[in-house]
Amino acid sequence: MEKKIADIDKPDFYLVSSESDNFIEPRSCWVIGRITAGACADSLLVRIDPPIIGQPYGLGAEDITEVILAPRLQGDSLFPVHRWPLHVYIFRYLKKGIRAGDTLTKDEVEMLPWSEIHPTKEAAIEAMKPFEKYKRR
């Protein structure tokens, strides 16, 4: 996923989930690189914005700014994405200093809500419209 100079600040895709009202708002995602998470060799380490609030995960004031994504449905792939939206598992890693190319065991990751990625922010917003009524105010 090589980027042109003009696209450096442009997110690679957007992450949303109807599984949790904390994930209904789209998060911009920037690819860091491939990673292996548990049995998922086809995984991707990404930086996200806005971060996920860390307190519900026992992190106190430390927020989650990077997550690992893996295809959720058999036959789907992140390398490359063949259809949008792509349904993904989201994992947070439990050890510090993770980099692209690393291999993590299943004990070194924690699954977050099932999600999907979209190529544009507009597509992500549109996909979550039916779930807006469930969002906490």
The proportion of the chain whose per-residue pLDDT surpasses 70, expressed as a percent, equals: 91
Q: How many helices (H) and strands (E) does the chain have?
A: 1, 8
Amino acid present at 121: K
Give the residue-averaged pLDDT of 21-42.
88
Q: What is the mean pLDDT of the chain?
A: 88
Q: How confident is the model at residue 122 (pLDDT cuts 50, 70, 90)?
A: very high
Domain boundaries in the chain?
7-121
Check whether 25 has a pLDDT greater than 50.
yes
Residue 17, exposed/middle/buried by CB under 10 A (0-12, 13-18, 19+)? buried
**How far, in Å, CA of 25 to CA of 73, rounded?**
23
Grouping H, G, I as helix, E, B as strand and the rest as coil, residue 117 is: strand
Check whether 2 has a pLDDT greater than 60.
no
> How many residues belong to the chain?
137
Check whether 31 has a pLDDT greater than 60.
yes
